[in-house]
Amino acid sequence: MIYSVYIINKAGGLIYDEDFSWNKNIEEHTWQQHPIPLVFTADTGRVLVKFGELNSIKPGYSVIAVNRQSVSGTMGPADKPIMEMINNPDCYPLSLTFGKGKVGANEKLMLASMFHSLYAIASKISPVEGSSGIQQLVTDEFSLHCFQTITGVKFFVIVDHKQTACEPLLHRIYELYTDFVLKNPFYLIDMPIRCELFDQNLRRVIEQVERASAYSSATLA
């Protein structure tokens, strides 16, 4: 699974990002009575799971629907606060749909700047002269793959451990960038990318790569 794609300019500014995962890991549960065995918080403008786990639901997942009605922010159906509904026994049975919450715009800008700095640090501390920066980061839950062009623009994707062919994917994204962004006469270099053709073709490539990876995994199994 491909979670997200980021493009950072040579100065460390975020010029493009797209989240492909927020609506893929959706899980619905119905509770007949209070309480729900999860701890919630609404401090960030969304109702998030703060503590506890249930199946695939983990801390950081947000409530995206209440009683199968989509919600935005902290308010549920009929403009009732979701936290109030969760804590009120009279609102049960209660159905909640959870999804991985989207990262906010300000958080993405900060993360892009931090990664740019880490990339530069990795280049400096490398014992091998002329070494590139970070090409791959691996965690328990996901991995990050990065490709930097000769002009200093960085492309990186965040994927799960089952996803294959990340390096060809990065090069394909770079090709889309040169074809639909750099060749756009209205685009200003190093500025945020607003190009519908780039978006459409990127989504098509992501779908193709994910299907190929899923087929490969199924064949090996």
pLDDT digits (tens, 9 = 90+) for 108-129: 899 999 999 999 999 888 888 7
Mean pLDDT score of the chain? 89
Q: Is 140 in contact with 125 (CB distance < 8 Å)?
A: no
Q: What is the pLDDT confidence band of residue 218, given thresholds at 50, 70 and 90?
A: low
147 contact partners, CB below 8 Å, separation of at least 6: 135, 154, 155, 156, 167, 170, 171, 174
Task: Please report which confidence band the pLDDT of residue 56 belongs to, taking 50, 70 and 90 as the band edges.
Answer: confident
pLDDT above 90 for 25: no
The domain over range 27-100 is classified in CATH as 2.30.42.40: yes
- Judged against a pLDDT cut of 80, whether residue 21 lies above it is answered with no
Token representation of residue 101: 């919450």
- Angstrom CA distances, 23 to 37, 63, 75, stand at 23, 12, 19
- The answer, yes or no, to whether residue 97 has pLDDT greater than 70, is yes
At position 129, the amino acid (one-letter code) is E
pTM: predicted TM-score of the whole model, two decimal places: 0.74
209-212's contacts with Cβ under 8 Å and 24+ in sequence apart are 209/2, 209/163, 209/165, 209/169, 209/172, 210/1, 210/2, 210/163, 212/164, 212/165
Does the pLDDT at position 24 exceed 70?
no
Per-residue pLDDT of 98-113, as tens digits, reads 987 667 788 889 999 9
Whole-Å CA distances, 173 to 26, 28, 32, 96, 152: 27, 34, 47, 36, 15
- For the chain, the structural domain boundaries read 2-21+104-220, 27-100
The residue with greater pLDDT, 193 or 128, is 193
Centre a 10 Å sphere on the Cβ of residue 115 and count the other Cβ atoms it contains.
Answer: 21
| Phi, psi values for residue 165, rounded to 5° | 60, 45
With beta carbons less than 8 A apart as the criterion, state whether 117 and 12 touch. Answer: yes
Q: Please enumerate in sequence order all residues whose Cβ is within 8 A of that of 112, keeping only pairs 6 or more positions apart, or say none.
A: 6, 8, 12, 13, 14, 17
What pLDDT score was predicted for residue 220?
44
Helix, strand, coil in percent for the chain, rounding step 5: 35, 25, 40
Q: Which fold has domain 2-21+104-220?
A: Beta-Lactamase (3.30.450)
Residue 13 confidence (pLDDT) above 90: yes
> What CA–CA distance (Å, rounded) separates 176 from 153?
14
